[in-house]
Amino acid sequence: MVGLTVPSHRSRRARAAAHRAMAFAALASDSSERVRYRRYHAHMRLAEALSRAADRAGPSAPQEVSA
């Protein structure tokens, strides 16, 4: 079996972005207002948790260090 080629913090960032997109899609869905907001908040909570986990795992780009 082949391992992941993308660092885990990047895949977490991608999943967080996907959950943000699903959250906004939930607001536009053809459901009751209560259901739309419940789905929106559930996806946003997941997106925030994934973003925090990605931040703890490592930076998304190399940081410049000044001496």
- Bigger pLDDT: 15 or 10? 15
The single-letter code of the amino acid at 41 is H
Domains in the chain, number: 1
- With 70 as the cut, is the pLDDT of residue 59 above it? no
Question: Domain span at residue 28?
Answer: 8-56
Instruction: Tell me, yes or no, whether 22 lies in a domain.
Output: yes
C-alpha pair distances (Å), 52 with each of 1, 3, 37, 38, 58: 29, 24, 22, 21, 10
- In tens, the pLDDT along 29-54 reads 999 999 999 999 999 999 999 999 98
Instruction: Tell me, yes or no, whether 37 lies in a domain.
Output: yes
Model pLDDT, residue 10:
73
Model pLDDT, residue 52:
93
Model pLDDT, residue 54:
87
Percent of the chain topping pLDDT 90: 60
